């Protein structure tokens, strides 16, 4: 059935819907190539469900969730494009079952995410949250912190971002341990890091930085067992997925002073919903940014360029040029 729809499509009647704010490069490029583009960056889910049946392509960032219901309603859908590095907000299994291509932009915002990670690491180590709040209140009290130089950094997830974080950490005088579910020994050796088991990493690290992709229903990589094994005064940085960490356990071990600081760009609900989330968010040793890992002008431009090219390639594969 999918092949019949593909054979009947051409540029003149193909409809592209963009449902999230997008760098102008994408809109300009697609329109210059003669594609019909509807740009609705603030469309709500109810409206999307009503109109998705009229479109062959949907392009999203993080706000729009392309779940099973959306895909079922999108009877003409041939391509789902995610202008970003992950696919958490897309039901890729359902898309695959229906023969719908899914494209995205892996690596396009690596530098932005890496820089934010290092910034959060420094913020946690030097207790920026408390110091800045005191300063804004007119209280200029000195707040002590720790140096990163000489510390052992454990990186969970040694892909593009994790590897580059490791390179910068080494340049700052840190010892780097790395863990991944795949064999990373060669890559770790190339940058002067040591590939270890998760158990060894949580036991030996002074600072742990998380760089993984996990599903929203996945079991946390860092739970109570891992917290128990950690050094007293460990610091944790997370710029990937909040659910990689057991949030309730994190709050417990921060309150026990086992965890010195938590610095993150992601949260379990954004904005938070649960009482424990609010308590964690307001904690003086917790620093949280509003999911801005890819929010730089440079990264958004690269994401738009890569997503546009991948979309055009996918269209060409189904005979639309």
Q: Can you tell me the distance from the alpha carbon of 294 to that of 303, in angstroms, rounded to the nearest whole number?
A: 9
In sequence order, what are the residues at sequence separation of 6 or more whose Cβ sits closer than 8 angstroms to the Cβ of residue 125?
A: 145, 146, 147, 148, 207, 235, 261
Same topology for domains 2-106+299-317 and 110-288, yes or no? yes
Strands across the sheet containing 194-195: 194-195, 175-179, 152-156, 207-210, 234-238, 259-264, 286-288
Separation of alpha carbons 227 and 225, rounded Å: 6
Name the DSSP class of 52: G
Which of 147, 270, 274, 317 is the catalytic position?
Answer: 270
| CATH, domain range 110-288 | 3.40.50.720
Locate 259 and state its tokens: 């965890």
What is the residue-averaged pLDDT of the chain? 94
Active site residue 291: yes
Q: How confident is the model at residue 6 (pLDDT cuts 50, 70, 90)?
A: very low
Q: Which two tokens stand for residue 129?
A: 């949250």
Q: Which residue out of 160, 203, 285, 291 is catalytically annotated?
A: 291
Domain boundaries, the chain: 2-106+299-317, 110-288
**pLDDT for 2:** 45
Residue 40 near residue 66, CB atoms below 8 Å: no
Residue 1, pLDDT score: 40
Q: What does the pLDDT read at residue 288?
A: 96
β 79-82/194-195 pair status: unpaired
How many Å from the N-terminal Cα to the C-terminal Cα in the chain? 21
In DSSP terms, which residues pair with 234 in a beta bridge? Answer: 259
Decide if 281 contacts 250 (C-beta within 8 A): no
Q: What pTM, to 2 d.p., does this model score? A: 0.88
> pLDDT (tens digit, 9 = 90+) per residue, 218-267?
899 999 999 999 999 999 999 999 999 999 999 999 999 999 999 999 99
Q: Across the strands, what pairs with 105?
A: none
Is the preceding omega at residue 271 within 30 degrees of 0, hence cis? yes
Q: What does the pLDDT read at residue 218?
A: 83
**How confident is the model at residue 11, as a pLDDT?**
84
Confidence of residue 317 (pLDDT cuts 50, 70, 90): very high
Question: Which regions of 160-294 does DSSP assign to beta strands (E)?
Answer: 175-179, 194-195, 207-210, 234-238, 259-264, 286-288
- Tens of pLDDT along 107-157? 999 999 999 999 999 999 999 999 999 999 999 999 999 999 999 999 999
| CATH number, domain 2-106+299-317 | 3.40.50.720
Question: Residue 6 has which token pair?
Answer: 């593909």
Q: Which of 211, 241, 277, 302 is catalytic?
A: 241
Report d(CA 93, CA 70) in Å as an integer.
13
46 assigned to active site:
no
Rounded Cα–Cα distance for residues 77 and 93 (Å): 15
270 assigned to active site: yes
Give the pLDDT confidence of 28-75 residue by residue, as tens digits. 999 999 999 999 999 999 999 999 999 999 999 989 999 999 999 999
Task: State the residue for tokens 């707040």.
Answer: 143
Cα separation, 170 vs 154, whole angstroms:
12
pLDDT tens per residue across span 189-205: 999 999 999 999 999 99
């Amino acid at each position: 059935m999918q092949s019949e729809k593909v054979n009947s499509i051409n540029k003149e009647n193909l409809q592209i819907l963009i449902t999230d704010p997008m760098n102008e490069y994408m809109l300009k490029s697609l329109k210059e190539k003669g594609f019909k583009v509807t740009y609705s960056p603030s469309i709500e889910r109810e409206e999307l469900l009503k109109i998705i049946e009229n479109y062959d392509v949907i392009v999203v960032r993080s706000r729009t969730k392309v779940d099973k219901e959306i895909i079922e309603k999108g009877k003409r859908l041939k391509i789902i494009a995610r202008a970003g590095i992950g696919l958490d907000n897309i039901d890729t299994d359902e898309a695959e079952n229906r023969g719908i291509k899914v494209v995205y932009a892996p690596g396009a915002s690596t530098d932005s995410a890496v820089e934010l990670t290092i910034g959060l690491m420094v913020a946690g180590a030097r207790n920026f949250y408390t110091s800045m709040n005191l300063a804004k209140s007119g209280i200029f009290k000195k707040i002590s912190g720790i140096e990163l130089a000489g510390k052992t950094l454990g990186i969970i997830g040694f892909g593009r971002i994790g590897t580059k974080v490791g390179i910068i950490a080494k340049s700052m005088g840190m010892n780097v341990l790395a863990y991944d579910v795949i064999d990373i020994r060669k890559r770790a050796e190339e940058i002067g890091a040591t590939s270890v088991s998760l158990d060894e990493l949580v036991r030996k690290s002074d600072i742990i930085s998380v760089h993984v992709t996990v599903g929203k229903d996945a079991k946390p990589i860092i739970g109570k067992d891992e917290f128990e094994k950690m050094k007293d005064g460990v610091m944790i940085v997370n710029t990937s997925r909040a659910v990689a960490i057991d949030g309730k356990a994190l709050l417990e071990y921060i309150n026990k002073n086992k965890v010195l600081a938590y610095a993150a760009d992601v949260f379990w609900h954004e904005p938070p919903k649960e009482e424990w989330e609010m308590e964690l968010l307001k904690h003086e040793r917790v620093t949280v940014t509003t999911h801005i890992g890819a929010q730089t002008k440079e990264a958004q431009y690269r994401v738009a360029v890569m997503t546009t090219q991948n979309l055009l390639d996918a269209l060409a594969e189904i005979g639309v040029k």
